[in-house]
Amino acid sequence: MSLHTIEKENCSKALVRNIEEYPDGIVISVNKPYGWTSSDVVRKIKFRTQRFFGVKNIKVGHAGTLDPLATGVLIICLGKATKLAEMLQAQEKEYVAGITFGCTTPSFDLEKEIDAYYPFEHITMDSIKSRLPGFLGELDQIPPVFSAKLVDGNRSYDLARAGVQKELKPSRVTIYSLEAISYISPVLTLKISCSKGTYIRSIARDLGVAMESGAHLSDLVRTSSGGFSVKNSVTIEDLENLMKTD
């Protein structure tokens, strides 16, 4: 049996309770719940699969972090499939983001409270669309300080939460497409296709500046990653039902 994938369309099919039946590993497309970290999902699935397969330890990892306040596709790799994580992470990703103009936060999303207010009444759908082409292609993007970037061996978010300010170096990313779906002032719904390493929170911040205002990310769904879609991703509850041990 080759690499086994678990998605919505085949989640009702029973798994063989012998990990040796999956020599190339298992890849699961999970719809990450709001408020969960990517590590939370990994730990939950690791615990469930070890009980289901009756093994003391199984390698489990993810192919690309998704922020706690985001939902959507989180690719989980089990067993030998963990070797594919880097390849899957390198593939194009798609998001639908809610960006709220008129106020900013230190984390560029709703993790932290609003720290400043700005005018936004002048912003229109047409003015937004006129600025979007400037965000396309390869660009140097400054990550949020509340991120997993390493600074002198420490996670940037740990330093930020401790009140230590460290300037982050720009990262080279690629924005393939941006589509303004709707604008109901002050909230823009934006569809984004981008490379790995892109921070949608940074796009929200930079777009706020470009619109002569301020902005933060108020909602985020990763709709596609590594060829997997959110519509065909399984929930944690789906996996618990699939891997029942009683």
**Which of 33, 107, 98, 29 has its CA nearest to residue 71?**
33
The number of C-alpha atoms within 13 Å of 97 and in the hemisphere containing its C-beta is: 29
**Which of 11, 8, 62 has its CA nearest to residue 37?**
62
* CA 18/CA 75 separation, integer angstroms: 22
**Token digits for 48?**
């469930």
For residue 141, the 8-state DSSP code is: E
**Token digits for 105?**
């936060």
CA 206 to chain centre: 19
- On the question of pLDDT at 143 being above 60, the answer is yes
**Token digits for 116?**
């400043």
For residue 17, the 8-state DSSP code is: S
**Token digits for 8?**
């919505």
Confidence at residue 245, expressed as pLDDT on a 0 to 100 scale: 77
* CA 46/CA 50 separation, integer angstroms: 6
**Tens of pLDDT along 67-106?**
999 999 999 999 999 999 999 999 999 999 999 999 999 9
Domains of the chain, earliest start first: 4-90+227-242 (no CATH), 93-225 (3.30.2350.10)
Using alpha carbons only, give the angle 87, 176, 63 rounded to the nearest 5 degrees: 25
Of residues 156 and 115, more confidently modeled: 115
Place of tokens 């939460």: 161
Catalytic sites, residue numbers = 67
- On the question of pLDDT at 195 being above 90, the answer is yes
Confidence at residue 177, expressed as pLDDT on a 0 to 100 scale: 98
Please tell me whether residue 184 adopts helix, strand or coil conformation: strand
**Which of 7, 3, 1 has its CA nearest to residue 235?**
7
- On the question of pLDDT at 65 being above 50, the answer is yes
Amino acid identity at 85: A
Helices (H) and strands (E) in the chain, counts: 6, 14
Residue 28: beta bridge partners? Answer: 6, 76
**Tens of pLDDT along 205-245?**
999 999 999 999 999 999 999 999 999 999 999 999 999 87
- On the question of pLDDT at 1 being above 60, the answer is no
* CA 86/CA 62 separation, integer angstroms: 9
Amino acid identity at 109: D
